[in-house]
Every structure is written in C-alpha cells, then in structure tokens.
A and B are shown apart, each in its own frame.
Chain A
C-alpha cells in the first residue's frame, strides 16, 4: 500500500536523450510536486500542480515538463538530457494544507 511511488528507481542514460519518470499517489491528495536533489543534498522545487494550477519554478529549464494524465499521476518528461541533470528526483503529494509525502526518489545519471 505504497503512498507515493516512482518508476524507475534508477535511470542511466546518455546526453541528448529524452526520458520520463513516472509518479503515482494513492492518497487522494490534490497537489503533486517534483523536486530535484543535487549532490549537495539541496532540495529544489521544480513544479507543483493541482487540477487548477501549475506553478513552475522559473529557474527550471523548459526541457523539463510535467504531465498529469489524472489527479493521481504527475510524470516528469526531460528532453535533451545534459550532464547537469544528474541528480535524485523526488515526487511528492499533499492536501493543500498538510504535510507532503515523498516518493522513494529516482536517481538519474547522465553520461
């Protein structure tokens, strides 16, 4: 009964490729998020999304795009991958006033 799940757990790919990371939550939450955690452990918000509003962190390159087929899913698409995209990506979800639950993370390595 995993609350927030992500696939894949590990992703190794070459520069220039396009890849996707999937996220699903079964908590009935109304808001989902994507975070990037770099090697220094800093958690940077990339997107937050509910059925009314997509908020994009202005520092996120437009090679990154969230796609939400329904309320329980928020996938992350990355085009033209670069070395600097290597990081751990966390999906999270919450009800708007309450705690965020994080997924297990996807470790992306771009070679």
Chain B
C-alpha cells in the first residue's frame, strides 16, 4: 500500500519568513496530492491540492510543487503570519479509485511574532 513520509515534524519560523514542508510517497500510481491544515481543536481543512498532470500550483501565499519522478511534493508558505500556525498534513491517493487517502504524519508549524 501507499506510504507517505512528511518532514519536518515541527517547524518554527519568524513572521514574514517562508516555510517549506516536504513529503515523499511510495506508490507511483498515486496522482492526487492534497494538503490539509488543522488548527488546534478543529477539523482538518483542505488548503490546496495538486494532481499529477501539473508540477506546481499556487494560491496566494501558498504553493505546492510535485516531482513525479522523485515521488515527492512540497508545500511552500510565503510571508507567514501567526494565523498560519497549525498542523499541516500532506496526503496521497490514486484519484478515481475507492482506495483511501494516505496521510503523512503532520508538521506542527509555529509562526513567531
């Protein structure tokens, strides 16, 4: 089955700096890669996703890059703000199948004011 590894497990940055979280996956059939943000005591919510037919996707201050050959993808947050502090999860799945979304182990991001 799919295995997703996520690094780092914790990340502290100064407000205004950039943050990068990296994930690798094992199943070359995976073609859908979402990122979820979970604030303390709340539910995970999708912030951005990418499918394997593109290499990069941006939405304001967040971007995701995908390297299919190397089987890794990354989340980039620029101009970080204190409200970006949360746990971030990457995930991978074979789109169009009933196979399950496999999550990484999460990254606790802390943005220091």
Is there a chain B Cβ closer than 8 Å to A31's Cβ? yes
Whether A43 and B100, one on each chain, are in contact in the complex, defined by CB atoms closer than 8 angstroms, is no
Residues in A whose Cβ lies below 8 Å from that of B89: 43
Closest A residue to B41 by beta carbon equals A105
* A contact face: mostly helix, strand, loop, or mixed: loop
- With the chains together, A30 CA to B44 CA distance in Å? 20
- With the chains together, A41 CA to B97 CA distance in Å? 26
Output the least CB separation between B92 and chain A (Å).
12
Whether B34 and A97, one on each chain, are in contact in the complex, defined by CB atoms closer than 8 angstroms, is no
Residues in A whose Cβ lies below 8 Å from that of B98: 31, 48, 50, 52-53, 55, 96
Q: A43-B89, A43-B106, A99-B34 are in contact. Are A33 and B43 (CB under 8 A)?
A: no
Interfacial residues, chain A to chain B (CB-CB below 8 A): 31, 33, 40-45, 48, 50, 52-53, 55, 57, 90, 96-97, 99-105
Chosen A-B contacts, 23 in total, with CB atoms closer than 8 Å, are A41-B38, A41-B87, A41-B105, A41-B108, A42-B103, A42-B105, A43-B106, A44-B103, A45-B102, A53-B98, A55-B98, A57-B100, A90-B43, A96-B97, A97-B32, A97-B96, A99-B49, A100-B46, A101-B46, A102-B44, A102-B45, A104-B42, A104-B43
